[in-house]
Amino acid sequence: MAAKKLLILPGDGIGVEVMAQVRRIIEWMAKKRGVAFDVTEGLIGGAAYDVHGTPLADSTLTDAMAADAVLLGAVGGPKWDGLPFDKKPERGLLKIRKDMGLFANLRPAVVFDALVEASTLKPEVVAGLDMMIVRELTGGLYFGEPRGIEQLPDGQRRGFNTLSYTTSEIQRIGRVAFELARKRNKKVCSVDKANVLECTVLWREEMIKLQQAEYPDVELSHMYVDNAAMQLVRNPKQFDVMVTENTFGDILSDCAAMLTGSLGMLPSASLGAEDAQGRRKALYEPIHGSAPDIAGKDIANPLATVLSFGMCLRYSFDMAAEADMIDAAVKNVLKGGLRTADIMQPGKAKVSTTVMGEAIVRELDKMA
């Protein structure tokens, strides 16, 4: 079998520390499961700016395009806060998503039994939660034109952005959501603001047409975004797959993240369109940022990044068995009582990033 081309971009802050734990798992997969990964490492964000003067060098983008999958840590930090907008670390992230055509962001929100108490919500509200938010990632308010800040004749300034979607943009994100739902509980909730925003009137109409034409076996419901935010904290288990616009998805998925107790536990996948061979460009990353407040201390939770690698195995490399092993290793380590500081509970053992990474490998060893 040809080696799987993996580009690793640790980025900044804790991105570097958590990615080092994924490296252990990659080595383990090579040694114990005979899976050959052709791994390249590159720079993104502030680390890339320091070397190349830009948060994403063209050569890195070329490597990303050539890879079967990209694994990313996190970008950003106070060191680069003063940079002009187009040089900021976060621009590197937006650029790689846009240029790779990664229009679908998949964010599972899963509550592990061992961490039910870590949520700020009551255990009965979140226990057993397993939902997926599908966020449109390359259109909507974040990318719509015109945009800018202009000077008005009366001396004021005016800032403006544009919310726009085309039929095909709505259909392709809709298809990702319906396909995922087919492999889960066959329920899609499409979130919009069709009572106020014309763009999302179109969104709703196209979702209905798509469901009727191609996915009659999947149940489709609709919810206004304000209600969706409320329902997420009131009764999150009513959802299976939720699909929504870029900005709405950004906010709702962070809200869903907190249902699970910690940003440090949540992976994500960003997928592009299928090519002729049925393969998608793909980027996998934890949803948390570079956490400058704890960077360099070996205390960050590496599990979101470990689980992101699991998603990579599942969605890009068709390695469901190995992906299941990673999920099980995470579950077992938590059940065994190991916790990084962010998910620490009374009576459990507080461990470092490194020790958590080693524990995951030990669990994999037990299963092999």
User: Is 142 among the residues known to form the active site?
Assistant: yes
Residue 268 CA to residue 255 CA, distance in Å, equals 15
Q: Which residues partner with 136 through β-bridges? A: 104
Query: In Å, what is the CA distance from 298 to each residue of 16, 21, 84, 319?
Result: 10, 11, 30, 30
User: Is 226 among the residues known to form the active site?
Assistant: yes
Among 70-78, 127-135, 152-160, 177-185, which window interacts with ligand NAD (CB under 6 A)? Answer: 70-78
Residue 322 CA to residue 134 CA, distance in Å, equals 24
Residue 216 CA to residue 169 CA, distance in Å, equals 20
Residue whose CB is less far from ligand NAD, 280 or 288: 288
Among 96, 294, 323, 326, binds ligand NAD (CB under 6 A): 294
Write down the catalytic residue from 68, 192, 240, 250. Answer: 250
Contact flag: residue 19 with ligand NAD (CB under 6 A): no
Among 29, 69, 93, 319, binds ligand NAD (CB under 6 A): 93
Token pair for 96: 């790689």
Q: How would you classify residue 84: left for phi > 0, otherwise alpha for psi between -120 and 50, otherwise beta? A: beta
Q: How many CB atoms lie within 10 A of CB 168?
A: 9
Contact 112, 331 (CB under 8 A): yes
- Minimum CB distance to ligand NAD, residue 314 (Å): 20
Residue whose structure tokens are 């998805």? 249
Residue whose CB is less far from ligand NAD, 29 or 137: 137
Among 10, 174, 289, 357, binds ligand NAD (CB under 6 A): 289
Task: Give the closest residue to 89 by CA, choosing from 176, 192, 11.
Answer: 11
Among 7, 8, 74, 329, binds ligand NAD (CB under 6 A): 74
Query: In Å, what is the CA distance from 101 to each residue of 42, 127, 138, 297, 311?
Result: 19, 35, 7, 35, 19
Among 21, 342, 360, 363, binds ligand NAD (CB under 6 A): 342
User: Is 365 among the residues known to form the active site?
Assistant: no
User: Is 324 among the residues known to form the active site?
Assistant: no
Residue whose CB is less far from ligand NAD, 25 or 181: 25
Token pair for 108: 């599972």
Among 42, 264, 267, 357, binds ligand NAD (CB under 6 A): 264
Residue whose CB is less far from ligand NAD, 140 or 289: 289
Among 55-63, 74-82, 221-229, 331-339, which window interacts with ligand NAD (CB under 6 A)? Answer: 74-82
Among 99-107, 122-130, 286-294, 318-326, which window interacts with ligand NAD (CB under 6 A)? Answer: 286-294
- Residues 173, 160, 152: CA angle, nearest 5 degrees: 165
Residue whose CB is less far from ligand NAD, 211 or 340: 340
User: Is 193 among the residues known to form the active site?
Assistant: yes
Q: Where in 212-231 is the site for ligand NAD (CB under 6 A)?
A: none
Contact 282, 272 (CB under 8 A): yes
Contact 51, 12 (CB under 8 A): no
Q: Which residues in this chain contact ligand NAD in the complex, by CB under 6 A? A: 14, 74-77, 90, 93, 263-264, 285, 288-294, 300-301, 304, 342
**Catalytic machinery residues:** 142, 193, 226, 250, 254
